[in-house]
Amino acid sequence: MTTIPASPRNSRALSVLRQIATGFMTLALTLLGLLVITFVISRVVPIDPVLSIVGERATPAQIEAVRQSLGLDQPLWRQFLIYVGDALQGDLGRSIRSGEEVVSEINRYFPATLELATLGTLFGTLVGVPAGVLAATRPGSIADQIVRLVGLMGYSMPVFWLGLIGLLVFYGKLNWVGGPGRLDPTYDMMLQFTLTTYTGAILIDSALNGAWDVFRNAISHIILPAGLLGYVSMAYISRMTRSFMMNELGQEYITTARVKGMPEWRVIWVHAMRNVMVPLITVIALSYAYLLEGSVLTETIFAWPGLGLYITNGLFAADMPAVLGGTVVVGVAFVTLNMLSDILYRLVDPRART
């Protein structure tokens, strides 16, 4: 009995489906591990959520009633199943401080962090990539030394110190930028009561509403914290770009292109950059994820009402549902960015599709 070999097209389709299934399985296991970690943290921290809700003067009957309503009288394995089931349905509990659903509060805070991290990543990428290429094409030159020094300063200087110096110089002394917060109080009230909210990102919403005075005020407030985060991102991206580009410029295909008389700009920005972009996509995605999860100090210094400040205030108030809900959202964003970078990696590099 003879078997009919599968056609190349069918084999390719099966390979793609297998890769998609593997990717979703990895994503599901990663998210499950994230839920396990947050659940364990919520049970081992020395904070009793029941006492945080009812207070220390509550009677034993009141404490037991609240404990039963929260499901804390159930076995741990059942508590975990309830926790996972609620999380999959978008229920991250209620904030102890406000009594609101954590998801509703995160929907108000997360757009501010997303707006800040996005602008910071754009700045870091648009400046860091050309700076890294410039340093790689002129190793040992003045330009290379400046790029490396600026990158080293971005790594070494504490973020909170840079933020305080920036506020003192550009806001307190020169008055070039807006102060802490996303808007001046007047424009903040205008945004709340007269403008339609579409995304939660002030720059986008004010532009869609045609409120250009609000847009300009928002720019004056976001330019300093976004520039600070962008500088940190640029230091990392420029360093990695320089390393990747120097490695590619030493390859044989680059020497061959130069021997054939190809213009230097084409050798660098077409041939070498095509291969540099493959690992650089992962670097930019990780930098973006770092800004999403690591902008706590920046948001605290600039009173930026983002997710980092929300988690920090939750920690100070022992509001564990808020802290764990914010942690889950940051983890989901991190995993999603890694998945998107993997997809872009396969689109840029045909070798990764085989």
**Residue 350: its pLDDT value, please?**
63
Whether the predicted pLDDT of 3 surpasses 60: no
Token pair for 306 = 């983002």
**Residue 205: its pLDDT value, please?**
86
Mean pLDDT of 291-303: 79
- 76 plus 120 within the same structural domain: no
**Residue that wins the pLDDT comparison between 217 and 338:** 217
**Residue 223: its pLDDT value, please?**
92
What is the number of alpha carbons within 13 Å of residue 308 lying toward its C-beta?
A: 22
Domain coverage including residue 82: 8-88
Calpha distance 329→344 (Å, rounded) = 22
Calpha distance 282→97 (Å, rounded) = 38
pLDDT band at 10; cut points 50, 70, 90 = low
% of the chain with per-residue pLDDT over 70: 89
Report the chain's terminal Cα–Cα distance, integer Å.
Answer: 31
Best-predicted range by mean pLDDT among 80-94, 122-136, 192-206, 311-325? 122-136
Q: How far is CA 81 from the centre of its chain?
A: 28
% of the chain with per-residue pLDDT over 90: 12
Q: Is residue 56 part of a domain?
A: yes
**Residue 62: its pLDDT value, please?**
74
- pTM for this prediction: 0.81
Whether the predicted pLDDT of 6 surpasses 60: no
Residue appearing with tokens 């903040």: 188
Decide if 310 contacts 106 (C-beta within 8 A): yes
Q: How many domains is the chain partitioned into structurally?
A: 2
Calpha distance 314→96 (Å, rounded) = 9
Q: Is residue 239 part of a domain?
A: yes
Calpha distance 224→167 (Å, rounded) = 8
- For 204, other C-beta atoms within 10 Å of its C-beta total 16
Of 54, 88, 122, which residue constitutes the final position of a domain? 88
Q: Nearest 5°: phi and psi at 24? A: -70, -35
Token pair for 217 = 């005020």
Q: Is residue 166 part of a domain?
A: yes
**Residue 123: its pLDDT value, please?**
92
- For 107, other C-beta atoms within 10 Å of its C-beta total 12
pLDDT band at 270; cut points 50, 70, 90 = confident
- 37 plus 155 within the same structural domain: no
- 77 plus 129 within the same structural domain: no
pLDDT band at 349; cut points 50, 70, 90 = low
**Residue 12: its pLDDT value, please?**
65
Mean pLDDT of 270-277: 85
Mean pLDDT of 94-119: 86
**Residue 48: its pLDDT value, please?**
67
- CA of 197: how far to CAs of 62, 116, 206, 208, 338, in Å? 41, 17, 8, 9, 29
Continuous H helices in 45-101: 49-54, 60-69, 76-88
- 135 plus 79 within the same structural domain: no
Strand partners, 94: 101
Calpha distance 298→285 (Å, rounded) = 20
Q: Is residue 320 part of a domain?
A: yes
Q: Is residue 104 part of a domain?
A: no
Token pair for 119 = 């602008």
Calpha distance 129→326 (Å, rounded) = 31
Angle (deg, nearest 10), helices 273-294 and 307-316? 30
Whether the predicted pLDDT of 2 surpasses 60: no
Token pair for 235 = 């230091």
Question: pLDDT (tens digit, 9 = 90+) per residue, 123-161?
Answer: 999 999 999 999 998 888 898 899 999 888 887 888 888
**Residue 16: its pLDDT value, please?**
63
Question: What residue type is assigned to position 35 of the chain?
Answer: L
Calpha distance 315→323 (Å, rounded) = 6
Question: Of 165, 182, 61, whose CA–CA distance to 111 is shortest?
Answer: 182
Question: Of 268, 321, 281, 311, whose CA–CA distance to 72 is shortest?
Answer: 321
Token pair for 335 = 């995993």
Q: Is residue 100 part of a domain?
A: no
- 215 plus 79 within the same structural domain: no
Decide if 235 contacts 135 (C-beta within 8 A): no
- 135 plus 41 within the same structural domain: no
CATH of the domain at 285: 1.10.3720.10
Token pair for 294 = 């690591």
Q: Is residue 39 part of a domain?
A: yes
